[in-house]
A and B are shown apart, each in its own frame.
Chain A
């Protein structure tokens, strides 16, 4: 039985190694402002670093203020790296802001998610 399990384990490990580089979704890796963070100064821009390269034309970031009004300005754009997507923000007042992102990776997988950050009063 043991040789069989050993062979099976090797096969699984090899398979996992192969598939891990195949089709991939773009998930949030980290963001600025950081997920759930509290800031002292208005951020001016929200940037998300994804786990995969994203297509700017089909990806977007929307940011809403505590009253539910959109404060993102213009289209999201790719930064220095293809995994980096940013959007500019209008002036922000203290409160908690909701960031909603939708990403289409270069192999066409679509993902989305949410997080918040808070701008503290002066």
Chain B
């Protein structure tokens, strides 16, 4: 124990004056890594795996995806992201196909974190790389797309105390624009597009530990029911206004080192698909697992 005491003293003395926790905290608010929409914070995290059974496509195809997402802080406020997925596609009346989708990379900057008002925002640039996946077999793009992004999160713990049951609520959202570097591929137009999504979260963890102890025991005291929405509206090249997207109700359980989430996938219209799909994700917080190596920024405190 004395060894630990000495270690704690040594390291606590050198603790930087930063927010207490890195991954997704703004004051008392913990924003989990959402499954569909992008997160409003830079982090050292990995989602492995993300398993998606998509709703039946508008063309009748069935698709299952296995994905991985990796996020790494270069500095406390600047981060990189990498993501890709392996796709198994069963077209209607045709042989199945499989292969990797395009690699997506991102550069993100944490604009601010406001602890008292549980607010944070992030700006970034994502690049989906052409020819980085199996174009013919898995439908990966043969063109690169640049996507400037803006992500935000807001917890409502700063509401008046009388609004007890609303204070565990939080909203995260993301806005982005797609700029393909080719206007068409094999005769099909590649329009610019507006992507917009948000998540409405009700944190039982926040309720139990920061607002009112209602006697929730494990595992319920770390659960966050949520509903996510993600939509995409093409803007030009003959496809303007054909919005597609999904609504995804589900739940996330967030532990200290990892979280597990599951959501149903509901298409918003026929163009987005038919029926119900599902997604399950296991997500690890590298800053907690490897705080002195892989889980810390490459540069800076």
Point out the residues of chain A lying under 8 angstroms from B5, CB to CB. 55, 57, 106
Per-residue interface assignment for chain B, residues 3 to 22, with 1 indicating a CB less than 8 Å from any chain A CB and 0 otherwise:
01101110110010000110
Q: How far is the CA of A27 from the CA of B20 in the complex (A)?
A: 11
Given A12-B282, A35-B209, 6 other A-B residues pairs in contact with their CB atoms under 8 A: A8-B66, A16-B282, A24-B257, A105-B8, A107-B4, A109-B288
Binds A, one of B75-83, B135-143, B210-218, B232-240: B210-218
Q: How far is the CA of A30 from the CA of B54 in the complex (A)?
A: 40
CB-nearest residue of chain A to B27: A114
Chain B residues bordering chain A, tally (CB within 8 A): 37
Point out the residues of chain A lying under 8 angstroms from B213, CB to CB. 30-31, 34-37
Per-residue interface assignment for chain A, residues 7 to 43, with 1 indicating a CB less than 8 Å from any chain B CB and 0 otherwise:
0100010011001101111011011001111000000
Contact indicator A20/B12 (Cβ below 8 Å): no
Contact indicator A108/B11 (Cβ below 8 Å): yes
B70 within 8 A of A: no
16 pairs, A vs B, C-beta closer than 8 Å: A12-B49, A12-B282, A15-B284, A16-B258, A19-B257, A19-B284, A27-B256, A28-B209, A31-B213, A35-B208, A36-B164, A55-B12, A106-B5, A108-B8, A111-B21, A112-B20
Point out the residues of chain B lying under 8 angstroms from A112, CB to CB. 20
Point out the residues of chain B lying under 8 angstroms from A96, CB to CB. 161
Interface residues of A (CB under 8 A from B): 1, 5, 8, 12, 15-16, 19-20, 22-25, 27-28, 30-31, 34-37, 51, 55, 57-58, 96, 102, 104-116
- Total A-B pairs, Cβ < 8 A: 97
Point out the residues of chain A lying under 8 angstroms from B255, CB to CB. 20
Q: How far is the CA of A39 from the CA of B66 in the complex (A)?
A: 52
Per-residue interface assignment for chain B, residues 26 to 37, with 1 indicating a CB less than 8 Å from any chain A CB and 0 otherwise:
011000000000
CB-nearest residue of chain A to B116: A114
Q: How far is the CA of A111 from the CA of B22 in the complex (A)?
A: 10
Q: How far is the CA of A19 from the CA of B286 in the complex (A)?
A: 10
CB-nearest residue of chain A to B19: A112
Which of B4, B209, B255, B282 has the most chain A CB within a 10 Å cutoff?
B209
Contact indicator A36/B28 (Cβ below 8 Å): no
Contact indicator B7/A108 (Cβ below 8 Å): yes
In the A-B complex, the 7 residue pairs with the closest CB atoms: A36-B212, A34-B213, A108-B11, A35-B213, A106-B4, A58-B12, A55-B8
